[in-house]
Amino acid sequence: MKIAIAGASGYTGIELLRILSSYEDIEINQISSRRYSGKRLKDVFPFFSGRFSDLVFQEDIDIQSSDFFFLCLPHEPSVELVKRVYESGKKVVDLSAAYRIKDTKAYTEFYGFEHKYPELLFKAVYGLPELFRDDIKNASVVANPGCYPTASILGLYPAVKEGVIKGEIVINALSGISGAGREPKQQFHYPEAFGDSYPYKPLMHRHIPEMENVLKNVSGSDIKVRFTPHIIPVSRGMIATITFRTDLSKDQIVELYRLEYRYEPFIRFLTEPPHTKYVSGSNFCDIFVDKDERTGLAVVITAIDNLGKGASSQAIQNFNIMTGREETYNLLTGIVYP
């Protein structure tokens, strides 16, 4: 199987290359990067060695030359490239938000562009295997989830599915700086980012419609979330703290989550709040569930690697499912610690 990675010089593309380099039954035959077009992978990133290191970055991807595509591009270019791949009869995992949301109005309101292919939105499958595994198996287009939605939805799914939440849902999430991508930005310049932490876009974050759209599909009703993202001065990692009111006791809410996820290979339950270090470099989502009996609020805390389960390793989990491999193939690796 010949694989192409568009936008391979960004953090998610680099992570895809790292994981896929251990697959012996595939060939990565195309990598694109307009910034590094004409240069070899190992010349741009000397830490790559082995059979893919002599690959040369192209300016664009040729649809006819590969069998499977990973797109690590901005949203608008992905809209067009996904359409071309789909029309060629081949399969694609898109890591942008271009096909995650079914409501076209959300793209105008939250992303600033009008989606040209609303009919294809409804053919794309949301790539969160714990919820949509059966749909992913037969999909040609998989919209890989965002990192914040992955951490948040996995923390909410059992409670939303069973309808045990009373009232509002509040999510406070913390992300490592790599979530902003590799493009240099002043606020992520080392002297400004080191030792600093702050919330951003607390009312109109782009991931809000994505979360609410998926939760609506699961529950059959409109669900609103009060979501506040924060930047923390670490390279990678994500923590989401979710609170909601419920009539279930602590033991009942814990049992609900354990039963729902009992067969999920990448969900791990902890008896104490998780750390980002526990999941670094992995595809795991660590979950801690408890209830504050004094306030009647359930507390669910999730931890993922924002470049792993929040992006590239989840894309490969989807790839495994779409190509008939064991879902866990090449993903049950140890974490990078410390």
List, by residue number, the catalytic residues: 147
Task: Give every CB contact of residue 111 below 8 A, 6+ residues apart in sequence.
Answer: 75, 97, 206
Which tokens sit at 317?
Answer: 């989990």
Which tokens sit at 276?
Answer: 């980002």
Task: Give every CB contact of residue 315 below 8 A, 6+ residues apart in sequence.
Answer: 12, 16, 70, 93, 95, 127, 144
Note whether 4 and 66 are within 8 A (CB): yes
Which tokens sit at 320?
Answer: 């495994």
Q: Give CA angle at 131 (125, 135), nearest 5°.
A: 40
Q: From residue 53, how far is each of 49, 50, 56, 134, 155 by CA, in Å?
A: 5, 6, 8, 35, 38
| Cα gap 286→275, rounded to integer Å | 8
One-letter amino acid at 203 equals L
DSSP 315: H
Residue 229 phi, psi dihedral angles, 5° rounding: -90, 150
| Cα gap 252→246, rounded to integer Å | 10
| Cα gap 180→189, rounded to integer Å | 12
Decide: helix, strand or coil at residue 38: coil
Note whether 148 and 287 are within 8 A (CB): no
